[in-house]
Amino acid sequence: MPGACIIGLQWGDEAKGKLCDLLAPRHEIVVRYLGGANAGHTVVAGGETFKLHHIPSGILYPEVINVVTPGVVMHPGTMLEEIDELTSRGVAIGENLMLSDRMHVVLPWHIAEDRYFNESSIGGESLGTTLRGIGPCYRDKVGRTFAIRLGDMYRDDFAERIARITEAKQRMLAGMNGSAALDPTAIHAEYRAYAERLRPYVADTTNYLLDAVQADRRVLFEGAQGSLLDVDHGTYPFVTSSNASALGVGAGAGVPARWIGTIIGVAKAYGTRVGGGPFPTEQDNEVGQAIRVAGNEFGTTTGRPRRCGWFDAVLARYTCRLSGVDVVALMMLDVLSAVEEIQICVAYELDGRRIDWAPSHAEDLRRVQPIYETLPGWQVDITGIRRREDLPPAAQRYVERVSDLLERPIGVISVGPDRVQTMFDTEVLPVAAG
C-alpha cells in the first residue's frame, strides 16, 4: 500500500501533528478519522505555530486533500473557528477540505453531560476529560435515539429533531444535576447557521476514500490521542471514547484495514499523561518538573500541566503490538538533555512477581512497581543536530535501547518543534523519502 498511518503509542500528545505535517506533502490525501476537539495538533511551520483540533495537518499544503471521516465527532462552532483562524492566516480552504455527512455532531447537552460525569469519580479519581463533550457524543452515537449527524442538519425535520432531543435531555440533565437551561429554538438557530457555513465542505467521504485507496492514491491516516487511550485496549476506564490505536483506522475512516499501508507508531522519548488514570512511571518530583519545563508540557487543548515521567517500554511495546507498528518515531529527544541520568521502564513488579506485560485492570496497573534500567544522560543541547551519527553517544545508546525494547526500528528522531529538527531513516521509512 502506498500510504501510511500515524498512531500515538502513549496517552496522546506524542507530537503526531509535527510528523503528520512532515509526511503530508508526500501524500495526496490526509484523513482524520477519530476523536474531535479533544485533540490538539501543534504544527510549527516557517516559524509560525498552528494549533489544529479537527482539521488534518495536510491543510497547510494547498495540493493536499483533507478528509474528516465518520469516526470523528465534530463541534461545528469549533470547526468553523479553526477554518476562520487558518483563513485569516493565509491558508486557503475550499475543495481541499471534506467533511463526512456521517460524522456525529457535538451539541450543548454533550458538553453539560461531560462536565457532570467528569465530576463523578471512578474509584476515587475523576476521568479528567477535556470537557469537549466527546464521551457523551459517542455515547449518543452508539445509543442512536439522541444522535445528530452532520447530514441530519440539512434535513427538513432538523428543528423537530432538536426540539425532541432537547426536551429529553432537559429532563435527564435536570435529574442529574438540577440545571438544564437548554433552549431548543436558540440551539436550532445556532446549528442551522453552522450548517449553512459548513455546507461547501460536506461530502460522502466514505466513497471518496474507497475510490482513492482502490486507485492506489497515497493516503495518510492521521491518528489522534494515543493507543493507551483506546476505549477497548487502553487503560480503561481512563481512556477516551474511541479506538485510538490503529485498530480504529478502518472503522473510523470507512476503509478496509488492509489499505492502511505503513503503520508509524509515535512515542515521546519520555512519558506524559493528562487527566486521571494510572501512570506507573510518573515522576511527581523535580525530574518530572524538569521534563515539564523543558518539554513545555501543557495541554494544547486545555492548557493543563501534563503529568510527566520516564519512558515506559512495557506499555509502548504493548501498543506497538496492538497497532501492528512497522516503525517507531521517537519525538522530543532533546527534552531529555535536561536530566542527568535517564531511566527506562523495562518490566514491572506486581505482588512480588516480575511481569513484562501490563495488567488489564486500572487498579492493578496503579499498583505495579516499575523496574528501571538506568542509562547515562548527555546534558548537551542537541536541538541543532541534523544527523543521527552526530548525536552524543549516550543519546544514540538511548535510541538503540528503545528500539531493542520495542522490537522495531526507529525511523524518525525529533529534536525540536520545527520541521528541520527531524532526522529520518528513509531505509526503514521509505514513505518519508517522497
Contact residues for ligand IMP (CB under 6 A)?
Answer: 11-13, 38-40, 127-130, 132, 134-135, 224-225, 229, 240-241, 274-275
Q: Which of 27, 41, 110, 188 is catalytic?
A: 41
Place of cell 492502511: 260
Characterise 254 by phi-psi region: left (phi > 0), alpha (psi -120 to 50), beta (else). Answer: left
Nearest distance in Å: CB 230, ligand IMP: 10
Which of 268, 317 has the CB closer to ligand IMP? 268
- Taking the C-alpha atoms of residue 325 and residue 399, their distance in angstroms, rounded to an integer, is 17
- Taking the C-alpha atoms of residue 337 and residue 415, their distance in angstroms, rounded to an integer, is 10
For residue 349 the three cell numbers come to 513488579
Nearest distance in Å: CB 132, ligand IMP: 5
Nearest distance in Å: CB 115, ligand IMP: 11
Annotation says 183 is catalytic: no
* 260 touches 247 (CB < 8 A): no
Which of 261, 417 has the CB closer to ligand IMP? 417
Which of 11, 259 has the CB closer to ligand IMP? 11
Nearest distance in Å: CB 377, ligand IMP: 26
Burial class from Cβ neighbours inside 10 Å (0-12, 13-18, 19+) for residue 202 reads middle
For residue 254 the three cell numbers come to 470507512
Of the candidates 242, 267, 289, the one whose C-alpha atom is nearest the C-alpha of residue 130 is 242
Nearest distance in Å: CB 97, ligand IMP: 20
- Taking the C-alpha atoms of residue 83 and residue 194, their distance in angstroms, rounded to an integer, is 12
Residues 6+ apart with CB under 8 A from 16: 6, 7, 8, 41, 222, 223, 224, 266
| Per-position b or e across 6-20, b if 16+ CB within 10 A of its CB | bbbbbbbbbbbbbbb
- Taking the C-alpha atoms of residue 252 and residue 281, their distance in angstroms, rounded to an integer, is 31
Which of 11, 191 has the CB closer to ligand IMP? 11
Which of 269, 347 has the CB closer to ligand IMP? 269
Annotation says 41 is catalytic: yes
The residue of the chain with the least Cβ separation from ligand IMP equals 275
Residues 6+ apart with CB under 8 A from 143: none
Which of 273, 408 has the CB closer to ligand IMP? 273
Nearest distance in Å: CB 131, ligand IMP: 7
Which residues are the active-site residues?
Answer: 13, 41
